[in-house]
Structure 1
């Protein structure tokens, strides 16, 4: 069964090694340096330079359709033989949104609520970026169900600095 693993930047290398990942998705501010794990070939690492915001702010990159398009193209090409690691700075918002989006895209028959519940069970701190989820909801034709499912699970538990790595199984 294919698995997604979500972690903060500080735990990227150890998570890739521990789970034997073949692909990595990075969602982080444009200027943040990210060293690609040695086990990941460059073509198997997607870097999306985006800020963790929901509306435009000077000096930041608001999540947009082009970011979700790149994510969807990448995860749809992921062969699913080995795990995929998705990370952002803290492993709380952008990466959890991308994991939720990935699960919805790769398992279109599975309900948004079931996926959101699995996300919450896997990570009490997950607080998916609402803008990324809304853009994906529209692109995937989920008619507001993704947005509603994430709103229903609510904001995750407050985190001191970063989330613990966690796994989300695909259906």
Structure 2
């Protein structure tokens, strides 16, 4: 079964090795630095600099944009799915779960949005997908509001300490 591994930054090397991931999407603020795990192919690492905010125009912070979501979709479409896709942000709670839902629907658009969101909630009681990424992804994937509604249906996740990676199975 094809899966997406969602992780906080602090555990990406462990998760990449444990799940044998070879491809990774990083969604972190521009000023954050990290080392790509050696098992992740350099040519299959997508780095997207953005802050975990839901509104544009908030000072020096970078809100998720259509270009970010387009890059997630394009990267996911090129994912060969022979090994899990690793997606991470700072805590693995907001940006990366949103990107995981977007990537899952990009590669398997026939999935039911609510069933996918419920699988996310089962996999992680902490996930609270970034609403801006979700809204942009819904529009770009022609989900007609179904993805937004599904994420709203599962609600906000429980408070998290940023140390709870999880695996999202695809449909």
Alignment TM-score, normalising by the size of structure 1: 0.97
Counting matched residue pairs gives 170
Quick one: distance in 2 between partners of 1:70 and 1:144?
21
Quick one: distance in 2 between partners of 1:51 and 1:91?
13
Contact preservation (8 Å) 1:133, 1:147: yes
Q: Is the aligned partner of 1:38 residue 2:38?
A: yes
Structure 2 match to 1:85: 86
Q: Is the aligned partner of 1:50 residue 2:50?
A: yes
Quick one: distance in 2 between partners of 1:63 and 1:120?
22
Give the drift of 1:97: 0.3
Residues 49-95 of structure 1 show CA distances to partners (whole Å, capped at 9, x for unaligned) of: 01000002101111110000011111100100011100000000000
Report 1:95-106 matches (<5 A): 95-106=96-107
Contact preservation (8 Å) 1:125, 1:163: no
Give the drift of 1:137: 0.3
Give the drift of 1:163: 4.0
Secondary structure of the structure 1 residue equivalent to 2:69: helix
Q: Is the aligned partner of 1:6 residue 2:30?
A: no
Unaligned runs of 5+ in 2: none
Give the drift of 1:2: 1.1
Q: Is the aligned partner of 1:168 residue 2:168?
A: yes
Quick one: distance in 1 between partners of 2:40 and 2:11?
15
Secondary structure of the structure 1 residue equivalent to 2:127: coil
Contact preservation (8 Å) 1:5, 1:168: yes
Structure 2 match to 1:143: 144
Give the drift of 1:41: 1.8
Contact preservation (8 Å) 1:92, 1:163: no
Quick one: distance in 1 between partners of 2:152 and 2:166?
21
Give the drift of 1:102: 1.1
Give the drift of 1:153: 0.3
Quick one: distance in 2 between partners of 1:130 and 1:117?
16
